[in-house]
Structure 1
Amino acid sequence: MKNLSFINKIIYIVNSIVAMLLLLSMVFPYLPPKTFSFLSVINLGVSFLIIINALFVVYWLVKLKKQLLTSLVVLLFAYLTFGSLYKFSPSKKIESDQNFKVMNYNVRLFNLYKWIPEDQVEVKIVDFIKAEAPDILSIQEYHPHENINLSSFKYKFEKLSGKKIKYGQAIFSNFPIINSGSVEFPKTANNAIFADVVKGKDTIRVYNIHLESLRIDTKIESLKKENSERLLQRIGSAFKKQQNQTELFLEHKNKCKYKMIICGDFNNTAFSYVYRKIKGDLNDSFKEAGNGFGRTHEFQFIPMRIDFILTDEAFAINGYKSYSEHFSDHYPISTTLSLENE
């Protein structure tokens, strides 16, 4: 420090704070938000913290200063804890006659309130889904719009609420649905639904989870106008609800004996407590077969992955795709699966 200029000393202090925050973020996925909701907010910014620490490493490397070790060591720990933020390997793509495609998509009520200033966004969403032709489709914020025609799917289960505007979750399938239901979350419109589908000789449980929303306007201009204390309190409260909802879901999931696929909008990142609990020993299809940042939510400057497709070991993950179609505040994702025993 004493060999640094005044400006570099200030930069290194900021560097140390950012490195410490990233270090702390590695602990929070193991701490329940009910107890540490305020601190858990840090995990929303893990992607940002990784990028900033990487920039500090580059800065000190150019300066030929040993201060680069601060962020470099923390980034190494982050890699060992979280894995790579960016997947450089090409997407896996294995062709098989047994392959079937699963898609997850938060459609934001099919643009009912014109968040995207375009005509017939709902028709564009349906056309996109038909073109991609998933065998199983999991939708959050579903709304039975008059222009929505997903009759190409033979089976569906939907769970809707609301008085004037009906909305909720839906599962569409080309495989027969023999059982379905809902895991009710108290005092919210969010929930988890499930459908047991039959593929060949196998019964597969498909879950569609929508955890509590953080209610953040992700535009930077809007965030600047937010009262920071109220924003943090709101996010902390949402994290506590997410933990309660996750516990209810896991209680239901643990009673299921079928092969399992879990889709959903977790409204939280892969660095969070709820993701770690829900994932358990399941496979994350993006980590197994995707590439890039895997962004699933529209957030300026930060690649946010909050939508997931998880599978148990009965499935081979033969492909994964993150789409860039901008018809919602979420981007659709899909994975190609096959059953290992087929």
Structure 2
Amino acid sequence: MRKLKFFEKIMFFFNSVVAFILLLSYILPLLPPKTFAALSVLGLGVPILILLNVLFFVYWLVKIKKQLLLSLLILAIGYSIFGSLYKFSESKTIEDINNISIMNYNVRLFNLYKWIPNEDAEEKLVGFIKKERPDILSLQEYHPRESTKLGFYKYKYEKLLGKKKNYGQAIFSNYPIINSGSVEFPNTFNNAIYIDIVKDKDTIRIYNLHLQSLRIDPKVENLTTKESEKLFNGVGESFKMQQFQSELFLKHKNKCSYKTIICGDFNNTAFSYVYKQVRADFKDTFKEAGNGFGRTYNFKFFPMRIDFIFADPAFKVNSFKTYDVQYSDHYPIMTKVSLVQ
């Protein structure tokens, strides 16, 4: 440190703080939010902590200072645990006659309350789905409006909650549905639904999982200090509920003997406890075949990937795509998978 100038010493101090917080965040997927609620909130900031450490690394690299080793080491540890925040490889695309295409999309009630100031946002959203025509369509925050016009699917299962709002989750399918149901989460409008489909001689289960919302305003500049404190406490409570909900889901899922696909809006990142628990040994289809940040939520200041499609190890992941269309506060994702022969 004696060779550092005063400003550089200040920079290294902040570098050390940011590096330590990022290192601390690496243990978050191991800590149940019911016990460590306040600490679990840190998981939402992991992407920006990674980006800050990258910037510090570049800063010391330009300065040709050995202090670059601090962030480099912390980033290397994170890469070995989670992989890269950004996937530099091109998206994988393998055409296979046995491919099943699955799209997951939180449609935010098809813009029912005009959050997006676009009169034809709903029509464009439905037109987008009709154009892509996934074999399986998993929707969160679904509203059964007649104008949604998703009747081109032969089969569907929807679970609606509430007497007035009447919304929930839905799964549409081009394959016959031989069984369906819901995993109820108490004291919330969130839940998990599932269908069992038949493709050729195989029965496949599809889950649509919607975990407790964090209710974060994407325009973070609107937050006051008081609101930020309230938000922090509220997010901690939401994480506790997410853990409870994921435990109910896993209890149900573990009784299923079919090959399984899990779709959903987790309202949490890939650096969280619920992500680790729900994914288990399944394949994260973005990590298998996607590229870029994989952002799925329209948060202004850094990319948030909170929507996922997990594939049973019995599947090959042949493609993955995140669509940059703004018809909701989420972005749709789609994967194509085929059973390992």
Q: What's the CA shift for 1:226?
A: 5.3
Q: Deviations over 1:154-193 (max 9, x none)?
A: 0000000112121000000000001100000010000000
Residue aligning to 2:333: 333
Residue aligning to 2:215: 215
- Pair 1:160 & 2:160 matched: yes
Residue aligning to 2:10: 10
Residue aligning to 2:54: 54
Distance 1:226 1:317, change over 3 A: farther
Of the structure 1 ranges 269-278 and 56-65, higher mean CA displacement relative to structure 2 is found in 56-65
Percentage identity across paired residues of the two chains: 64
Structure 1 residues 93-172: aligned runs within 5 Å: 93-172=93-172
- Pair 1:227 & 2:227 matched: yes
| Counterparts of 2:69 and 2:173, CA distance in 1 | 51
Of the structure 1 ranges 264-273 and 118-127, higher mean CA displacement relative to structure 2 is found in 118-127
SS of 1:40's partner is helix
Distance 1:226 1:107, change over 3 A: farther
Distance 1:225 1:329, change over 3 A: farther
Structure 1 residues 1-342: aligned runs within 5 Å: 1-224=1-224, 227-341=227-341
Q: What's the CA shift for 1:223?
A: 3.1
SS of 2:147's partner is coil
Q: Deviations over 1:52-104 (max 9, x none)?
A: 00000011111111111111110010111110111111111111111121000
SS of 2:148's partner is coil
Letter aligned with residue 339 of structure 1: L
- What's the RMSD between the two structures over aligned residues? 1.0
SS of 1:61's partner is helix
Letter aligned with residue 142 of structure 2: Y
SS of 2:318's partner is strand
Letter aligned with residue 229 of structure 1: E
| Counterparts of 1:55 and 1:90, CA distance in 2 | 24
Q: Runs in 1 of length 4+ with deviation above 4 angstroms?
A: none
SS of 1:88's partner is coil
Mind listing any 5+ residue stretches in structure 1 that lack a counterpart?
A: none
Q: Deviations over 1:23-43 (max 9, x none)?
A: 011101001000111011111
Letter aligned with residue 167 of structure 1: Y
Q: What's the CA shift for 1:301?
A: 2.2
State the TM-score, normalizing by the size of structure 1: 0.98
Q: What's the CA shift for 1:18?
A: 0.4
Q: What's the CA shift for 1:303?
A: 0.9
Letter aligned with residue 231 of structure 1: L
Q: What's the CA shift for 1:145?
A: 1.6
Q: What's the CA shift for 1:13?
A: 1.0
Distance 1:319 1:269, change over 3 A: same
Q: Deviations over 1:128-162 (max 9, x none)?
A: 00100100000000001231111110000000011
SS of 2:35's partner is helix
Mind listing any 5+ residue stretches in structure 2 that lack a counterpart?
A: none
